[in-house]
Structures are given as structure tokens and as C-alpha cells.
């Protein structure tokens, strides 16, 4: 018999078994109190409803009008609960916060997230709690925000000065009576990026380092884009080997590029710490703080370098991602 026929037969048998197993045993694990929209397809569930014709939040909003403030969807092998009522959402993140603290496994969290070392993307547990405490105290506390005030002020003044210089350079050729057009979304994006990189990694680019800055910004933006991509393997893990869309390959390339940049910054921090005798000061950035806490330690299976890089990068990405969504 032809090998292709054998392969096709095995594939159909496997998919049929998978579907029948789900069909017969779903009732034992299903929460009957939460409605489920009709129209689920075999294997993929409701994935076909998220076809890109509308933004997902609009689709979910239309479903909420029909099925109520809480309903569930089957997205491949994942069961997803959609909540659109603030009282239910509050209950999820207060009374039942531990039940919702876990994050689903994904290709991005594994490859880009240092194998789930990024605490915001990893499973709830001792490591998650410890890193969350460090971030809350050392980066989000009122004391640390006040200490880093000078960085934010410097970056704003620098951005304003660059805007003025841009106007001086282009106003004479403008046809708008001296007014000059400027892309403000890019302006704000660069301001946020530069401020965060300075506060987290202590990196301050000069005009002579534009190429290096652009390279880092490009890698970070690509990093963010890949975190937001819908990957087939996240919903149908048994198709991961196909790498549909080439996302896994892109993630591995971007992860390697990002790690090279962060590793270079980490080595520079270690060199400076050695010169000053490992002393901490008020001018320390977040990577300095993480080095002082995690140096030569293993926390719950992760080495110090992985913890430092993953935690610094996740703070950078979450802030920039929130700014991007706001825009």
C-alpha cells in the first residue's frame, strides 16, 4: 500500500478517535451552569468564529448580548470562559483569584518567555509569588517610582528638544506657514521605550548609537508582535510539528536576538558592579536590583541569569504593550 495512503488513514483515525473521545467524555468535565454558544465544529470548536472579520472583543460582545454575561467557548483543546460583567470579573480576581492566577501554556511563553520563567506568563506557584513580590517592591513601589523620577523628566525634556530641532530643520520648507507635520504615535512610542529601557537596564543611547537603538527597538517590537500572534499549535498542540504560519521559527529567531541584547546588558551590569564592589545605590536600575537579589541563586529550578533576563524583559514588554493598546 502507498505510504501516503497509510499516513492519511492513520491521520483520519487519530482525529476521529480524538473527536469521539471529546464527544463522549466532555459531559463529565463540563460546567453545565455556563452556557456555550452553538456552532462548534469538530476538533477546532469555536475557532472559526474568530476569523478576523471583526476584532475578538466585538465578537465576544455580540455573544454576550445573546448568551449573557458569562459563557464558555471551545477553542481547539482549550475551554475558555468569557466574562463581560464587572461584578463577575471582580469575583474572579478577588474571591477566586488563585483559580485564575494560572496562565495557559503557549508557544510564546515557552520560547520567548524563557520556558515560563516570565512570572506573568508562568504557572501560579512559589516562583510566581516570589518574583511578583520582588517586582512589586523593587519596581512598582512608590519609593522606586519617586527615585526614578529624574529618568522620566530627562527623557521627556530630551524628546521635546529633539522635536524642536526637528521643527527648526523642516519649518523653512513647510507649506503650512511654519507648521511641521510629525508622527506623534511614533514620538510617544519612542519616549516610552527609551524611558523604560533606561529605568530597567540603565541604557541611554546617544545620537551616535542610533543604529544600535533601532536594532534593539526593532527586536523588542517584534518580540511584542509575536506574543500577540494567534498560533495554531496553542489550540491544536498535535499540529505543532507543522509550524503552520512559521511562527515557531520566527519566535526562536527573535528569542535568540533578544537574549543576545539582554545578555550584553547583563554582562555590562556585572562589570560595573564588580568595579564598585557590588554596592547598591539609589541610582540603580531594575537589572542592578535583580542582580543584588538573585546573583548566584537558583529559584525553583531557574538559574539567576534566566530569572533576571526574563523578569526585566516581561516588565518592559507589559508596559509597552499597555501603551500600544492605549494608542
Beta carbons of 19 and 43 less than 8 angstroms apart: yes
Fold of 131-325: Cytochrome p450 (1.10.630)
Q: Give the per-residue pLDDT at 1.
A: 42
Helix (H) or strand (E) run with residue 157 in it: helix 149-170
C-beta neighbour count of 220 within 10 angstroms: 21
Q: Give the per-residue pLDDT at 279.
A: 62
Q: Give the per-residue pLDDT at 107.
A: 93
Q: Give the per-residue pLDDT at 237.
A: 92
The span from the CA of 221 to the CA of 232, in Å, is 22
Domain boundaries, the chain: 34-100, 131-325
Instruction: Look up the pTM and report it.
Output: 0.78
**Ranges of the chain whose pLDDT falls below 70:** 1-32, 174, 205-210, 278-283, 317-327
Beta carbons of 260 and 228 less than 8 angstroms apart: no
DSSP code per residue over 246-262: GHHHHHHHHHHHHHHHH
Beta partners for 82?
71
Buried b (16+ CB within 10 A) or exposed e, 23-32: eeeeeeeeee
Amino acid at each position: 500500500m502507498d505510504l501516503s495512503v497509510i499516513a492519511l488513514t492513520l491521520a483520519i483515525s487519530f482525529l476521529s478517535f480524538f473527536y469521539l473521545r471529546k464527544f463522549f467524555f466532555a459531559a463529565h468535565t463540563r460546567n453545565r451552569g455556563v452556557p456555550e454558544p452553538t456552532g462548534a465544529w469538530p476538533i477546532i470548536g469555536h475557532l472559526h468564529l474568530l476569523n478576523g472579520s471583526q476584532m475578538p472583543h466585538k465578537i465576544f460582545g455580540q455573544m454576550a448580548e445573546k448568551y449573557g454575561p458569562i459563557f464558555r467557548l471551545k477553542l481547539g483543546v482549550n475551554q475558555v470562559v468569557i466574562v463581560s460583567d464587572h461584578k463577575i470579573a471582580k469575583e474572579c480576581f478577588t474571591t477566586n483569584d488563585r483559580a485564575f492566577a494560572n496562565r495557559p501554556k503557549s508557544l510564546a511563553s515557552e520560547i520567548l518567555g524563557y520556558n515560563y520563567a516570565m512570572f506573568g506568563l508562568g504557572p501560579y506557584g512559589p516562583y510566581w509569588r516570589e518574583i511578583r513580590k520582588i517586582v512589586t517592591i523593587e519596581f512598582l513601589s512608590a519609593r522606586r517610582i519617586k527615585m526614578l523620577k529624574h529618568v522620566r523628566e530627562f527623557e521627556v525634556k530630551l524628546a521635546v528638544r529633539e522635536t524642536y530641532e526637528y521643527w527648526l530643520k523642516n519649518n523653512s520648507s513647510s507649506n503650512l506657514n511654519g507648521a511641521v507635520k510629525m508622527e506623534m504615535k511614533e514620538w510617544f512610542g519612542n519616549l516610552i521605550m527609551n524611558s523604560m529601557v533606561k529605568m530597567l537596564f540603565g541604557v541611554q543611547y546617544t545620537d551616535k548609537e542610533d543604529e544600535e537603538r533601532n536594532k534593539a527597538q526593532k527586536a523588542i517590537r517584534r518580540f511584542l508582535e509575536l506574543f500577540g500572534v494567534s498560533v495554531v499549535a496553542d489550540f491544536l498542540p498535535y499540529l505543532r510539528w507543522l509550524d503552520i504560519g512559521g511562527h515557531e521559527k520566527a519566535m526562536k529567531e527573535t528569542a535568540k536576538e533578544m537574549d543576545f541584547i539582554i545578555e550584553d546588558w547583563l554582562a555590562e551590569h556585572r562589570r560595573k558592579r564588580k568595579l564598585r564592589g557590588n554596592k547598591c545605590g539609589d541610582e540603580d536600575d531594575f537589572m542592578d536590583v535583580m542582580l543584588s537579589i538573585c546573583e548566584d541563586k537558583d529559584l525553583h529550578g531557574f538559574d539567576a541569569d534566566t530569572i533576571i533576563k526574563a523578569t526585566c524583559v516581561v516588565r518592559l514588554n507589559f508596559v509597552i504593550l499597555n501603551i500600544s493598546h492605549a494608542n
